[in-house]
Amino acid sequence: MERSAYSRLCEWKNKNDRKPLILNGARQVGKTWLLKEFGRREYEDLAYINCDDTPEMKSAFSDYDTARLIRVFSALSGVSIKPQNTLLVLDEIQEIPDGLTSLKYFCENAPEYHIAVAGSLLGIGIHEGTGFPVGKVDEINLYPMTFAEFINALGKRELAKQMTEHRWSELSTLSHTFIELLRQYYYVGGMPAVVDSFSRKQDIQEVRVLQKQILTDYRRDFSKHIPKDILPKVNLVWDSIPSQLAKENKKFIYSAVKKGARAKDFENAIQWLADAGLVIKVSRIRKIEKPLKFYEDFDAFKLFLLDMGLMGAMTEVSPKDVLVNNKAFSEYKGAFTEQYVLQELSTLENNIYYYSKDSSTLEVDFVIQKNEVYPIEVKAEENVRSKSLRVIYESNNSLRPCRFSMNDYREQEWMVNVPLYLAREWIKTAE
């Protein structure tokens, strides 16, 4: 499988001011595979250590003598670690907080070594006050596979290539093919192990088995890592997200998690899930104007899952409804389509918001700020109207409204309609 993050790893390797690398990402998004593949293809040797199942690592950091640590890592990995020629990978680094701290000393005292670390719950460790080496590391975030990566994994490389050539209108002739692939992506999602199985076997039943296994693994993580006082709350929030997204108004409602609940009851549970990379929090803004951050409302937000395939497994959506009957596009209040767009946009690492006006039905699904501000409307159907977008634009003509829908690419006087399958690529190239 090809991952777009691979090219970023190559850029990191060739940087003159390269620092130790942290590869961030939720469990099972492919961090270990990607680092091993990178090490095998780009270096003479790969020295790999899993901190979670190597007991000696817990006592390795008696001090931060980098020469001694390299000797320890060489002994544990069975590989002679050489500057420039060996990639040292420390996996599940969150299990050894001192290991994370040591990256500072490798940056300062031994920058000639190529060191990459990863951890499924690294975000949790960072927020629990470990000695994070601020300013002494490079970071890359890894996400579930995008729609383009999914197409590539299925062997449709020419289709994926044409998406990147940005001849938007020409792709309309291929819309039926793209929509069929998008339907499959809605069901399979972007977890690499699931995509790999589907690409090889085309077995939709096995897809669901693998998705449920991932969900089971997440539950085990909850039990293992979450403090007992918030564990029940995390489970309640996690289980409530699909139903929250299936509402007409997708704003997160605490009382939908538990009757009478308030923000203070579940804030720490939501933060744990966000730090673990399992949910994506999209805050409301009160005004669509640069800089958007000025108008963020921390009390109103939507919560999305990290992967739409897992959302389908959680809700036990029938394969027939997604792959045959088209219900994923037309029903569930657009929950799958909004989840898809959010998932695609989040990989671009722009801040993502949504807009709604108090005491009004006026709402915009997502808002992104690049050089310009893009209010985004998401529609799961072909029969679309953009009343909210029109009102927003008429109040501020400097905005660049766009609508992601099942319609073909079309530039209007005040708005651009972008096919859903081009959502990420189009926003990536927007100013």
CB 142 within 8 A of CB 25: yes
- Residue 45: per-residue pLDDT: 98
The fold of 5-141 is Rossmann fold (3.40.50)
pLDDT digits (tens, 9 = 90+) for 67-81: 999 999 999 999 999
Which residues have a Cβ under 8 Å from the Cβ of 68 and sit 6 or more positions away?
A: none
What residues does each domain of the chain span?
Answer: 5-141, 147-429
Which residues have a Cβ under 8 Å from the Cβ of 111 and sit 6 or more positions away?
A: 18, 19
- Residue 383: per-residue pLDDT: 62
- Residue 6: per-residue pLDDT: 98
pLDDT digits (tens, 9 = 90+) for 14-58: 999 999 999 999 999 999 999 999 999 999 999 999 999 999 999
- Residue 387: per-residue pLDDT: 82
- Residue 134: per-residue pLDDT: 82
Cα–Cα distance, 65 to 57 (Å, whole number): 14
Place of tokens 């709604």: 356
Low-confidence ranges of the chain (pLDDT < 70): 122-131, 326-333, 359, 382-384
Q: What is the pTM of this model?
A: 0.93
Three-class DSSP labels, the chain: CCCCHHHHHHHHHHCCCCCCEEEECCCCCCHHHHHHHHHHHHCCEEEEEECCCCHHHHHCCCCCCHHHHHHHHHHHHCCCCCCCCEEEEEECHHHCHHHHHHHHHHHHHCCCCEEEEECCCHHHHHHCCCCCCCCCCEEEECCCCCHHHHHHHCCCHHHHHHHHCCCCHHHHHHHHHHHHHHHHHHHHCCCHHHHHHHHHHCCHHHHHHHHHHHHHHHHHHHHHHCCCCCHHHHHHHHHHHHHHHCCCCCCCCHHHHCCCCCHHHHHHHHHHHHHCCCEEEEEEECCCCCCHHHHEEEEEEEEEECCHHHHHHHHCCCHHHHHCCCHHHHCHHHHHHHHHHHHHHHCCCCCEEEEECCCCCCEEEEEEECCCEEEEEECCCCCCCCHHHHHHHHHCCCCCCEEEECCCCEECCCCEEEEHHHHHHHHHHCC
